[in-house]
A and B are shown apart, each in its own frame.
Chain A
């Protein structure tokens, strides 16, 4: 860690990078934003924006349960609950004949309601409000270690899973004829999303986490012509928005998560106007 600090001091000789909490935040951005960039490509292509939104809402219950149980850390409870929640939605979606958005809507609202119910129990709602907006400056070196592990895990999963998801996003019956197990691939993707959402929710915030999973790819697909460009641009946009958002938030004393989202949105609108020059 000391080595990393001194390396960062030489590479980033700026006032904002002088503080240890900013170094941690910067490293967190470097680790998490590429993941958002990667995963958002498939969230957008498979039209799962509503699903990823419900994962953020499910976090209400996950955090509240953690506080209620007390013995386990909020992050552990959130992680377990989110993954179970994501897998359960995927299961019901595959079993039920109701339309996907109805199924997700039902789960999403139930999760918010249950979470709020537990959180407001005994009038202690205020101590949870930091989760709504998020606080990137609170990240500890231990959490950075966990982020690194998740980073490597997601890269591995994305390497193994992406081709199947791409075929699946084209047509489920066609994917079936190519031997793709749709349910397994969807479940793995849902679980991966849930893990990334739960580890980053404490600094991005419940309210805006979904923006991170939609905006980078939404902007990238305005410019990209194939899968490689799509991924490259999405990761690039996510990283650029993450770093510039963090620095701006430091100088103007704003919530970093929200600043990153606003910058991503600005990039999206810029690419929307550039689209006619790139995609024919």
Chain B
């Protein structure tokens, strides 16, 4: 009963008459006989940041891989652009959590951009014509100075920003961010969220972010989805963090975040997160 009320107020249940939107409908993933998650319904609008939270092993990263189509899944992914003309599969940008390569790999930032953006073989082609475009891409994440650096020589935060820049060319309809559990320092993390918030403002895209930092989620997300082998609760940060189930899973941490959120909201309502977007018509 309570859940229904919550869910009804969540932005995820509003229809998307004039905004582009992506619907994840009844997603489920099974590996052998083990169910990773099932009956996941999430609805994201462009210009919205949806944060996925949940304990380790809740299936958050697997959900992103299912959206990418890398993991076989049940359910459908539906996309419709603002004018309702283009439907079908959204263009997806993806920023992985960690890289499975050793730090000695002789691949520069420019190399990896060229491999992604061009069909000409990186080992043979000079790639001068691409350089301006790559610099522009890197500028967007404040990483233009890293263009000739080896990937292995980047810090966790720098690498994350370079990968974000890669995911933004071509500009996707849906951006999936799998935030690392560790390896990014606090400054790097704040810069990353700043850039993501900027993207949300300027570009017409929906963002789904897996996060482990509840404070950042409380400050930046429009919609929070709590996952543990399925969607436990979904709604605005206030709703989800105030929910007893969230507090049970995350313990004191979520309770504190919710309390802080209320304090901030009481003191300066306009600073409590972000300018509210009108989702409904």
Contacts and interface: CB of A to CB of B under 8 A. Distances in A.
Q: Which of B64, B69, B115 has the most CB of A within 10 A?
A: B115
A163 B96 contact: no
Given A173-B94, A221-B104, A226-B110, A163 B119 contact: yes
A280 interface: yes
A167 B106 contact: no
Given A176-B70, A177-B93, A163 B105 contact: no
Contacts of A220: 106
Contacts of B114: 163
A31 B118 CA distance: 28
A131 interface: no
Interface string B94-122: 11100111001111101110111011111
Contacts of B116: 163, 167, 178
A228 interface: yes
Contacts of A231: 123-124
Contacts of A173: 64-65, 68, 70, 94, 96
Q: Which of B108, B118, B123 has the most CB of A within 10 A?
A: B123
Given A158-B121, A162-B121, A230 B94 contact: no
Contacts of B107: 45, 166, 170, 226-227, 230
**How many A residues touch the partner, as a band?**
20 to 34
B15 interface: no
Central interface residue in B70, B110, B176, by most chain A CB within 10 Å: B70
| Chain B residues touching A, range | 35 or more
A169 to B, nearest CB: 6
B226 interface: no
A49 interface: no
Contacts of B124: 159, 231
B112 A176 contact: no
B118 A163 contact: yes
Interface of A: 38, 41, 45, 97, 158-160, 162-164, 166-167, 169-174, 176-178, 220-222, 224-231, 279-280
Chain A to chain B: the 9 pairs with minimum beta-carbon distance, closest first: A177-B94, A224-B106, A226-B108, A231-B123, A163-B115, A230-B106, A227-B111, A166-B115, A176-B70
Interface of B: 31-32, 64-65, 68-70, 92-96, 99-101, 104-108, 110-112, 114-116, 118-124, 148, 150-151, 153, 163, 166-167, 176
